[in-house]
Amino acid sequence: MKKQEKNITFLEQFLPPNTFDKIAPFFSNHTIHLTLTHERKSVLGDYRSPIKDASNHRISINGNLNPYSFLITLLHELAHMLTYNHFKDCVSPHGREWKTQFRHILIPFLGKRIFPGEIEKALHAYLHDPAASTCTDPILFKALYMYDERKPGYKLVDDININGHFETDDGRVFQKLEHLRTRSKCRELGSGKMYLFQGIVEVRSVRPKL
């Protein structure tokens, strides 16, 4: 194995079994600087193209992702790299060209028993029109979320029972009143104001104070 491939053998611990050998050629064929970061709630991964003072392709991935989310996110960013190599900055970041590259490098991982059934099924649907983030596809997001290492008491708004209560990261407590198609109507207990929450927002289930 080439020297550059040896440097990324640590990736094997973050990926699903039997997938590293499919990923390694990207790093032997391209000059990539890969960074694993702490959790970023607004983004799972990021790609930066080479610049004058940094000739490497730069990819960062959240290091806390479950193996399936990690693999999908890494392929997402590698698709950005391949798109840049072909078109430079002449196409939109998540346009037709990127979608084509993403499908091309993800499909070889399907039908190989790499992903659990519910994730594989969601991926097949997702590939019809890949989005800028897996977080924007509720079905795929929920399938991947099942394999996350969660803190006790945390769940998605969709999984909170009607009239159940939950707390957001800023300490506010809400009561879930109604489940709509992709959102839930909730009342903040402190102010009585109504809010709409996306169903895939992670919150902490709590009991209301009497």
Q: CATH number of the domain at 158, please.
A: 2.30.30.30
Clarify whether residues 44 and 96 are in a common domain.
Answer: yes
Clarify whether residues 37 and 71 are in a common domain.
Answer: yes
Cα 141 to Cα 102: distance, rounded to the nearest angstrom: 17
Clarify whether residues 186 and 140 are in a common domain.
Answer: no
Clarify whether residues 37 and 132 are in a common domain.
Answer: yes
How do 202-206 and 194-198 pair as beta strands? unpaired
What is the mean pLDDT of the segment spanning 125-149? 89
Clarify whether residues 102 and 137 are in a common domain.
Answer: yes
Asked whether the predicted pLDDT for residue 6 surpasses 50, the reply is: no
* Cα 143 to Cα 66, 102, 208, distances in angstroms: 12, 19, 29
Picking from 145, 167, 186, the residue at the C-terminal end of a domain is: 145
Residue 134: the pLDDT is 77
Clarify whether residues 135 and 172 are in a common domain.
Answer: no
Clarify whether residues 23 and 85 are in a common domain.
Answer: yes
* Cα 80 to Cα 6, 195, 201, distances in angstroms: 23, 35, 26
Asked whether the predicted pLDDT for residue 97 surpasses 90, the reply is: yes
Picking from 115, 145, 175, the residue at the C-terminal end of a domain is: 145
Residue 132: the pLDDT is 75
Q: Which residue has the higher pLDDT, 67 or 182?
A: 67
Asked whether the predicted pLDDT for residue 2 surpasses 50, the reply is: no
Asked whether the predicted pLDDT for residue 208 surpasses 80, the reply is: no
Cα 88 to Cα 74: distance, rounded to the nearest angstrom: 19
Mean pLDDT (the chain, rounded): 91
| φ, ψ (nearest 5 deg) of residue 110 | -90, 150
Clarify whether residues 198 and 125 are in a common domain.
Answer: no
Q: How many domains does the chain have?
A: 2
Clarify whether residues 116 and 163 are in a common domain.
Answer: no
Clarify whether residues 15 and 90 are in a common domain.
Answer: yes
Clarify whether residues 60 and 159 are in a common domain.
Answer: no
Asked whether the predicted pLDDT for residue 141 surpasses 60, the reply is: yes
Range of the domain at 159: 154-206
pLDDT digits (tens, 9 = 90+) for 37-69: 988 777 899 999 998 887 899 999 999 999 999
What is the mean pLDDT of the segment spanning 151-164? 94
Asked whether the predicted pLDDT for residue 131 surpasses 50, the reply is: yes
Asked whether the predicted pLDDT for residue 205 surpasses 50, the reply is: yes
Clarify whether residues 21 and 123 are in a common domain.
Answer: yes
Picking from 145, 177, 192, the residue at the C-terminal end of a domain is: 145
